[in-house]
Every structure is written in structure tokens, then in C-alpha cells.
Amino acid sequence: MSYYVIGHIRVLDASRWADYRARVGATLSPFGGEVVMRGGVDVVLAGDWPGTDTVVLRFADAASARAWHDSPAYQALVPLREAGAEVVLVGYEGE
């Protein structure tokens, strides 16, 4: 079983968001994390969705995901993330 972190994103500043995206990948590998999917919303098929982008990250387990999120390397990027977008990160166990 894998553990997924899904980011629900509303980009506010495209330049700052691009800078954050360029840097965040390097923070994942020490924790075995990988980007499964990253992209902009194409169509909302049901309901209301204020987001513009989504990212899906995969880790071996919840502990690895939390260690990544709490790591100094990732936490150093949080101010840049917050300047570029509104982001909700949600963890899920899955297959």
C-alpha cells in the first residue's frame, strides 16, 4: 500500500508558484517521495471547484510523507508556496 498527498491548489502569483514548483521536487527524494501527477484543471465535471491546479505525491507510508512535510528543506519553501498559491495538502492511504 502507498500513501498519497494530494495538493489542491489555487495559483495566485504564477511567477512565485513556478519558482516553488522548480524547487520542491528536490525535497521529495530523501523521503522516497515522487510526483505522480501535476497539472492544471481541465474541466469540472460536477460541483464547484475554485482550484486551478492539483498535484499527487506518492510515499511508501504516512511517516515518510509527514517527515517530508516537516523537513527543514520543505519548510524553507513554505513561505514561497504561500506567496504563490493557496494550497490544501491532504494525506490518503491507497493502492
Q: How far apart are CA 46 and CA 48, in angstroms?
A: 7
CA atoms within 13 A on the CB side of 94: 10
Q: Which CATH class is domain 2-42+60-94?
A: alpha beta
Contacts of 91 (CB under 8 A, 6+ apart): 3, 4, 5, 62, 65, 66
Global pTM value: 0.93
**In degrees to the nearest 10, what's the CA dihedral of 64, 67, 73, 76?**
130
Q: Where are the domains of the chain?
A: 2-42+60-94
Say yes or no to pLDDT of 16 above 90: yes
Model confidence over 54-87: pLDDT tens digits?
999 999 999 999 999 999 999 999 999 999 999 9
Q: What is the mean pLDDT of the chain?
A: 97
DSSP class of 44: -
